Amino acid sequence: MKQLILSLALAASFLCCNSVAAKDIAQPGSFKVGNKTFLLNDKPFVVKAAEVHYPRIPREYWDQRIKMCKALGMNTLCIYVFWNFHEPQMDNFLFTGQNDVAAFCRLAQKNGMYVIVRPGPYACAEWEMGGLPWWLLKKKDIRLREQDPFFMERAEKFETKLAEQLRDLTIQKGGPIIMVQVENEYGSYGEDKPYMSAMRDIIRKAWQAPDLTLFQCDWSSNFTKNGLDDLTWTMNFGTGANIDNEFKKLGELRPNSPKMCSEFWSGWFDKWGGRHETRGAEAMVDGIAQMLERGISFSLYMTHGGTSWGHWAGANSPGFAPDVTSYDYDAPINEAGQVTDKFWKLRKAMEKYSGDWDPNTGKWVSPQQGGRKRGLPAVPKEYPTIAIPKFELKEFAPLAAGTDSIAKMGGLMTFEEMDFGWGSMIYITSLPEIPVQSILQLDAHDYAQVFIDNQFIGKVDRVKHEQTLKLPATKKGQQLIILVEGMGRINFGRAIKDFKGIVSAPVITAEVDGIATSWTPRQWTKCRIQDDYASAVKALNNPSAAFLHLTPLSIREGQGGESGYYRGYFNLKKTGDTFLNLENWGKGQVYVNGHAIGRHWYIGPQQTLYVPGCWLKKGQNEVIVLDVMGPRGERTIEGLQKPIIDRLNLDRPQTHRLEGQTLDLSGEKPVLEGEFKSGNGWQEVKFPQPVSGRYVCIEALNSHNNREYCCIAEWYMLGADGTRLSREPWQVAYCDDEDITSGNKTADKIFDLQESTYWSTNRGVQFPHHLIIDLGQDQTFTGIQYLPRVEAGAPESIRQYRIYVKSSLFKGL
Ligand code: GLA
């Protein structure tokens, strides 16, 4: 009997405390890595974290969003700290108001939530430059995320300033912070343990907390590349993933390590010009239930996504795919903090796991045994939404009125050289006499509109890989004016070193009297236009300061207005959240009562911008639209009660098969044919001998399990030395079939660096399928690497295949 009582007592002491009450975390405590489990105050603990980003939520709403996460059954909040948000100019550190990360952590604690901090210095997160400050690029040759002395010195300074804010909030000191991450997914950037070690040391030193648990997150396919012996390793993967596979390697290398999915992606982000992304609720609930059944910790990315206000949205690469303003992410708590169908389904499932995890039995037991109440907290109230009747933006100032700095003549300069991060630049040069039509070669980041003597000639859009434009015959002395708008800096992959403006000297070429002739203008006037509220107000208060009036496309088409600043007002009797409909407008930024609420672009899929009611007021409210293209129709806006984030408005289809194209492979000889294995994971095949060419055609003859369609998650070509070739210049030259019905499964997903996204053909469309990659130039290769979908059973993976390589495009295209 005595023994029984003892073992009951022991078992009870080993039950973990997953249902957290506010009082539990006010006392100094501990969070450690135990045997196959995390230990919170020496008891097993399963982290159920909600990823939320405080900069993406108005401070006034932090509390409601935290309570929403708690109502989902989460016990922890997982936050990135974006360096550029806290140090927008070098040595100007911001930690108050919206930037008060310590206040956010304290609020979390008040609500009975723990906090995991991810201080970078790099984050990714579809945030401008992945969280790195643009001013690092003022050192032109900087090596970002490497042991470049300037990068390391600045990163250390930031990490130290941040730790000064947070180091008293660790669990060891009675605060809510249980873990801190070092860097972010370094495996998809490079292989550099010395750099990772140096960053770990910087963070450890800054936090002055020897007992603080530090961890790394990566993918199961690459975490060993940079895994440090003394840090905890966690894996990132999305819904549908085979959970056992994801942790297999970790289990082999560290059999006693607790398991955690540090980013469980149950939605995805949207890009301008791409379809709105969604992911099913069932797969999310199933994945989380599977993890909790095994006592695996997780962070749900995103539980609430929020909004990338102002110019904070980043861009993806390879290529250039700027992210939209909304970071709704198809998350269970939507952009406006409202519950969704996904929310209710998840809450229901999480209820089952609201008790305590007993690692001895592998079961969740009712918390009542530990004296706590069962069930989840009540769902907090949502903020009310309002509609705002259509109003007109009558005041106008031309774009050039927003110029705050001019560099006369001399060579080209980027934004960074003109010492600013965000906005537009106007470049002006004098043209020579060119009696015939010519071609302008222009490498502009990111959206350039070209004018001759103020008349719109055409645009060069980096998103579409455009770099040339036809110019009409010109007279000597005519002015070539190039207006370049910068969008978000790339946040993923090697391309994060993303300068803005004209990045290499434009060249004009023409054939004059049968002779190929070229001109490289050397003397440029450069005008800086910052996209901030102060510049907009200054321009509107003095529109006559504009030294040029550009006539954009919309006016030439007889429907819109000039590019510039438009201001209007609306009156409110009561405030509430609203969604401003920008469908009449071109492309630019919007400010409401001085708050930069984000980018708009008519191409969609996002057409409305979320405005939280806490930034509105009773009486008169001000709206300014900075439109670099000019409005396309009426200069009006209305506020809707529901968002429109899924309406594309494209002049070309997103698919890669042009009308009339039918690939003809007759007479072509494959350089390789074979059969891929079934199952998950990377496969590598070597060619019998090296081959050269620019176009690589992948032919899928059928798929495993006799599926009606096929998919590829990632694809690499191996170079002469057997290593992966850079995919930066890659484009899809052709693809016979792409599924664009549900989110983002187009052919370019095979080289988007994301293992969790993939190309898919449509169900029932007959094999064979063909996808042709344009590598940009002739290259020599020795093999390929192929990754099927990461989901269990590798659904729709290709079985028999052939590969063709050519230097010129295939017949029929
Ligand atoms: C990775 C990054 C995140 C985010 C997601 C995609 O996992 O670590 O910051 O960019 O991809 O949303």
Pocket test for ligand 1, best of 182, 185, 235, 277 (most atoms within 8 A of CB): 185
Give Cα separations from 419 to 89, 122, 133, 404, 575 (angstroms).
10, 22, 13, 12, 38
Kindly indicate the confidence band of residue 367, based on its pLDDT and cuts at 50, 70 and 90: low
Query: What sections of 331-478 are H helices per DSSP?
Result: 341-351
Q: How many angstroms separate the CA atoms of 699 and 684, rounded?
A: 16
**Residue minimizing CA distance to atom 12 of ligand 1:** 125
**Residue minimizing CA distance to atom 3 of ligand 1:** 125
Contact between residue 441 and residue 467 where contact means Cβ atoms under 8 Å apart: yes
pLDDT in tens, 639-681: 999 999 999 987 666 788 887 888 999 999 999 999 999 988 8
pLDDT in tens, 583-605: 999 999 999 999 999 999 999 99
Strands 587-592 and 501-512: unpaired
Q: Residue 35: is its pLDDT beyond 60? A: yes
pLDDT in tens, 498-516: 999 999 999 999 999 999 9
Largest CA distance in the chain: 108
Q: How many angstroms separate the CA atoms of 81 and 564, rounded?
A: 34
pTM of the model: 0.89
Q: Which of 327, 340, 199, 322 is nearest to 280 (CA)?
A: 340
- Compute how many other C-beta atoms are within 10 angstroms of the C-beta atom of residue 156: 18
**Residue minimizing CA distance to atom 5 of ligand 1:** 125
User: Do you find a cis peptide bond into 389, omega within 30 degrees of 0?
Assistant: no
CB of 269 sitting under 6 A from ligand 1:
yes
Share the mean pLDDT of the chain: 93
- Strand, helix or coil for residue 654: coil
Contact between residue 806 and residue 694 where contact means Cβ atoms under 8 Å apart: yes
Provide the β-strand partners of residue 391. 637
Q: Which atom of ligand 1 is nearest to the CA of 302?
A: 12
Tokens 């850079």 correspond to what residue? 726
Q: Which of 263, 485, 714, 755 is catalytic?
A: 263
Contact between residue 336 and residue 577 where contact means Cβ atoms under 8 Å apart: yes
CB of 480 sitting under 6 A from ligand 1:
no
pLDDT of residue 13: 43
- How far, in whole angstroms, is CA 388 from its chain's centroid? 31
Q: Which atom of ligand 1 is nearest to the CA of 123?
A: 9
Distance from the CA of 582 to the center of ligand 1, in angstroms? 28
Q: Residue 434: is its pLDDT beyond 70? A: yes
DSSP 3-state percent helix, strand, coil across the chain (nearest 5) = 20, 35, 45
- Compute how many other C-beta atoms are within 10 angstroms of the C-beta atom of residue 436: 13
DSSP state of 380: P
Contact between residue 85 and residue 55 where contact means Cβ atoms under 8 Å apart: yes
Question: 756 — phi, psi (to 5°)?
Answer: -90, -5
**CA triple 363-365-371, angle to 5 deg:** 155
Distance from the CA of 124 to the center of ligand 1, in angstroms? 6
Distance from the CA of 611 to the center of ligand 1, in angstroms? 25
Contact between residue 264 and residue 300 where contact means Cβ atoms under 8 Å apart: yes
Contact between residue 304 and residue 55 where contact means Cβ atoms under 8 Å apart: no
Q: Is 263 a catalytic residue?
A: yes
- Residue 687, CB-side half-sphere exposure with 13 Å CA sphere: 22
Q: Which of 176, 199, 212, 213 is nearest to 120 (CA)?
A: 199
Contact between residue 676 and residue 801 where contact means Cβ atoms under 8 Å apart: yes
Q: Residue 24: is its pLDDT beyond 60? A: no
Residue type, 644: I
Question: 456 — phi, psi (to 5°)?
Answer: -65, 130
Better-scored residue on pLDDT, 330 or 549: 330
Q: Which of 656, 648, 614 is nearest to 774 (CA)?
A: 656
Distance from the CA of 308 to the center of ligand 1, in angstroms? 14
Q: Residue 742: is its pLDDT beyond 80? A: no
**Residue minimizing CA distance to atom 4 of ligand 1:** 125
Distance from the CA of 237 to the center of ligand 1, in angstroms? 10
**Residue minimizing CA distance to atom 6 of ligand 1:** 125
pLDDT in tens, 139-158: 999 999 999 999 999 999 99
Q: How many angstroms separate the CA atoms of 456 and 452, rounded?
A: 7
Q: Residue 255: is its pLDDT beyond 90? A: yes
- Strand, helix or coil for residue 600: strand
CB of 125 sitting under 6 A from ligand 1:
yes
Q: Which atom of ligand 1 is nearest to the CA of 329?
A: 12
pLDDT of residue 560: 75
CB of 219 sitting under 6 A from ligand 1:
no
Residue type, 425: M
Question: Range with the lowest mean pLDDT among 31-35, 39-43, 262-266, 753-757?
Answer: 753-757
Pocket test for ligand 1, best of 189, 222, 301 (most atoms within 8 A of CB): 301
Question: 656 — phi, psi (to 5°)?
Answer: -105, 15
Distance from the CA of 747 to the center of ligand 1, in angstroms? 20
Strands 114-118 and 76-80: parallel
Distance from the CA of 297 to the center of ligand 1, in angstroms? 18
Contact between residue 82 and residue 133 where contact means Cβ atoms under 8 Å apart: no
CB of 185 sitting under 6 A from ligand 1:
yes
**Residue minimizing CA distance to atom 11 of ligand 1:** 125
Distance from the CA of 190 to the center of ligand 1, in angstroms? 16
Q: Which of 589, 578, 433 is nearest to 508 (CA)?
A: 433
pLDDT in tens, 389-432: 999 999 999 999 999 989 898 999 999 999 999 999 999 999 99
Q: Which of 199, 34, 49, 24 is nearest to 116 (CA)?
A: 49
Kindly indicate the confidence band of residue 20, based on its pLDDT and cuts at 50, 70 and 90: low
Give Cα separations from 374 to 351, 355, 377 (angstroms).
8, 7, 9
Question: Range with the lowest mean pLDDT among 218-227, 317-326, 327-336, 363-372?
Answer: 363-372
Q: How many angstroms separate the CA atoms of 408 and 421, rounded?
A: 20
Kindly indicate the confidence band of residue 761, based on its pLDDT and cuts at 50, 70 and 90: very high
Token reading at 537: 């107000």
Q: Which atom of ligand 1 is nearest to the CA of 80?
A: 9
**Residue minimizing CA distance to atom 9 of ligand 1:** 125
pLDDT of residue 696: 96
